[in-house]
Amino acid sequence: MSVALIWILVGIVLILSELMLTSVIAVFLGIGAIVTGLLLHWGWIEQTSIQFAIFGGVSLALLLLARGRIKRWFQGYTADEDEAKPNFQRDIGARVRVIRDFNHGAGRVTLNGVQWDAFSDDELKAGETAWVIANEGIQLTVARQKPKQ
């Protein structure tokens, strides 16, 4: 196996390893290794010291110039939430859509795309909007009027 092919394979492995990592660094090392392998394959470089210098230089230049821009693509979205509240309390005051009529106080609603069993003193029909007033684990209590917070 030629040295150029080894550089290129190492570069591919580094780029693929970035799928497991979130640091957005290995991809630049991988590109540096691929560039070094290609230059070696084309005969533009031969000495080992030059190979490592090009690998380091290309990787460092890409890291400094592009990492900030590319890392923004991988950042998730975080809504402004009150982190002090437990998860079940954050749902209180949330708007839900009734998906099954409430019979004898029991029905079904969707909250954040998830269906929940719910209870209500109000007569709610499918398609109406209701508001969460309590969360008892896997069941919600909802009302026609939004609770005052």
Query: Each residue of 106-116: pLDDT tens digit?
Result: 999 998 888 89
Q: What's the longest Cα–Cα distance across the chain?
A: 83
CATH value of 87-143 in 1.10.3720.10, 3.40.50.11290, 2.40.50.140, 3.40.50.720: 2.40.50.140
H helices present in the chain, as ranges = 3-17, 26-41, 48-71, 87-90
| Cβ–Cβ < 8 Å for 92, 135 | yes
Q: φ, ψ for residue 142 (rounded to 5)?
A: -125, 165
pLDDT of 26-52, one tens digit each? Answer: 888 999 999 999 999 999 998 999 999
State residue 130's pLDDT score. 93
Residue ranges per structural domain of the chain = 3-74, 87-143
The span from the CA of 10 to the CA of 12, in Å, is 5
Amino acid in the structure at residue 104: H
